[in-house]
Structure 1
Amino acid sequence: MGFFDKIKAGLTRTKENISNIGHSFDQLFAGELDDDFYDELEETLILSDMGVETAMKAVEELRRRAKAEKIKNAEEGRECLRAILTEFLEVGDLSLKLDTKPSVALFIGVNGVGKTTTIGKLSAHLKGEGRRVLMAAADTFRAAAADQLEIWSQRCGVDIVRQHEGADPAAVVFDALSAAKARGTDVVLVDTAGRLHNKQNLMNELNKISRILDRELPGADRETLLVLDATTGQNGLIQAKQFKEAAGITGIVLTKLDGSAKGGIVIAIAQELGVPVKFIGVGEGIDDLMPFEPAEFVKAFV
């Protein structure tokens, strides 16, 4: 099953939610592009969890382009909306920049969003590209986190560095980087603790890890990926804003999109944060973490 098919299947609940509450996109784009149409479109986009600000911006831009390009046909209007939403999603480099050897991907986010599972799936993805991967179990506050990561390391056939529960997370990262350099590893994937985003000690911990990375791998490629649960909707957007301010992020991984009734959150996150969504999770399988493709997503969404 390709990206479009998986996304279309994953967005089934979004479409059902919109249809149950108000107007589906198919119903909307069956009529004229008049004032009622634009009002109903804005309502539909807000119901999809795109957020008021982003929904209003999209509708206003569609009005402008429809007038400038003299669009009256509903299907042309749909294509125009797709183009606008695709542009909203193209806010940066969508690929992972992990070209140095070794390079590092740091995973942050609150507990329960799927960080550990995401690391496991991305390990399989990178290994499938022929890269040597090492996992660092730097979430030392929950014994289950390191145990879960170790299960994924065995499943994927990649190395892992871990310590005892309560160990210094930065020390785990230091050990992992030393092992990576000794073993000729291509990419180090670092799991971090996911206590609440407003706790200062968590941010201090992330800063300490960052200093270790700067010292041990100066000039190395580094991604700081915020993992968000799509089912949390606007709460996820609030989390993302706070993490961006405190830790700096280079990309978003959006998990559980197949369980979300409000897939528009993807567009809201990219537009309001100016940070690209790089991967999305659309299922439980090891190959259900997929590089994000904005145009295909929008085609399935609208």
Structure 2
Amino acid sequence: MGAPKQGFIKKLFSGLTKTRDTLLKGVDEVLGAFKQIDEDLYEELEEALIMADFGVDTTLHIMEELRSYVKAHKISEPSALKEALQTIITEMIMAQPEDLMVQEGPTVVLVIGVNGAGKTTSIGKLAHLLKQNDKKVLLAAADTFRAAAINQLQVWADRAGVDLIKHEEGSDAAAVVFDAIAAAKSRKVDVLICDTAGRLQNKVNLMKELEKISRIIEKEYPEAKKEILIVLDATTGQNALQQVKLFKEVANINGIILTKLDGTAKGGAIVGIYSTFQVPVKYIGVGEKIDDLQPFDSEAFAKALFKNN
């Protein structure tokens, strides 16, 4: 899909302001307070990373890497640790595979996530983004649990200029997907994006529903590649990790759409999510507009996390 537009990199940079300020302020304060590298310094740095919402496990991993880096490069000046940290964190972010949906042939994308994370909005924005990349897109309103979800998806389908397959509220989600597959085949659609119910309170029902939908896709559309993307709200920070963990128990997640990065100081969680679950962030949202969702560019993200301009 090519590199993100220059304007989006600017948005990403300003979107990460709160995260960057929290991280850099914490790191700078620690490094400025020490004349030498010792255990106390490492402990303070560890705390600064946890405050920037990297999470405990990821922070411990970063600190382990930092100690090795300091030994290997014979670093003695505390001020040199900032660049070392940047290198380590950048490598962790860059480890993510950037495998986006650009292949030939039809693709079905199931979008999962808790209500309120920006699931429906993200589907509309993703449809717009794919359409901009000359893909023919169809949406399916398979979150039949809430009438609001169907109506909201219709609004976004209209905005993106794509068709929507929907049934009445409370109808069988798998039946909606069945009809959407038939429509996708007859209209020669490249990407079929299905909204799904976001209720984690009843995991058994959700699991059964997703299994039924998956069976229908395999039976009716075996030639299609299947992707399951989870939508996470960046402002929830470490809670997003918990959501990935719970949803991974009910679905084989291929990637993450991370929303609301522009309103949070918790962008550090993105590093922890990948290093903990090996689920890559595929798209990020840094605003309300239809074109404010873009493919995740790990290099641009790493730069925006550390640079002051």
Question: Same-fold call, TM > 0.5?
Answer: yes
- How far 1:165 sits from its partner (Å)? 0.8
TM-score (norm 2): 0.90
Match of 1:272 in 2: 276
Does the Cα contact within 8 Å between 1:101 and 1:185 map onto a contact in 2?
A: no
Match among 51, 54, 62 for residue 50 of structure 1: 54
Q: SS where residue 14 of structure 1 aligns? A: helix
Distance 2:261 2:255 in 1: 16
Match of 2:3 in 1: none
- How far 1:300 sits from its partner (Å)? 1.9
AA in 2 matched with 1:137: A
Match among 24, 27, 30 for residue 25 of structure 1: 27
Match of 1:11 in 2: 16
Distance 1:32 1:298 in 2: 28
- How far 1:298 sits from its partner (Å)? 2.0
- How far 1:18 sits from its partner (Å)? 5.2
Does the Cα contact within 8 Å between 1:91 and 1:276 map onto a contact in 2?
A: no
- How far 1:245 sits from its partner (Å)? 2.1
Distance 1:98 1:222 in 2: 13
Residue identity (%): 53
Unaligned runs of 5+ in 2: 1-5
- How far 1:75 sits from its partner (Å)? 6.2
Match of 1:138 in 2: 142
- How far 1:280 sits from its partner (Å)? 1.0
Match among 228, 239, 243 for residue 232 of structure 2: 228
Q: Deviations over 1:73-95 (max 9, x none)?
A: 56653333223223323454323
Q: SS where residue 24 of structure 1 aligns? A: helix
AA in 2 matched with 1:239: Q
Query: Within the alignment, does 1:214 sit opposite 2:218 as a pair?
Result: yes
- How far 1:285 sits from its partner (Å)? 1.2
Match of 1:177 in 2: 181
Q: SS where residue 207 of structure 1 aligns? A: helix
Question: CA, structure 1 residues 72+144, in 2 after alignment: closer, same or farther (shift >3 Å)?
Answer: same
Distance 1:202 1:289 in 2: 27
Q: Deviations over 1:33-60 (max 9, x none)?
A: 6124322221111011111111011011
Question: CA, structure 1 residues 181+98, in 2 after alignment: closer, same or farther (shift >3 Å)?
Answer: farther
- How far 1:270 sits from its partner (Å)? 0.8
Does the Cα contact within 8 Å between 1:230 and 1:255 map onto a contact in 2?
A: yes
AA in 2 matched with 1:285: K
Cα root mean square deviation, aligned: 2.0
TM-score (norm 1): 0.92
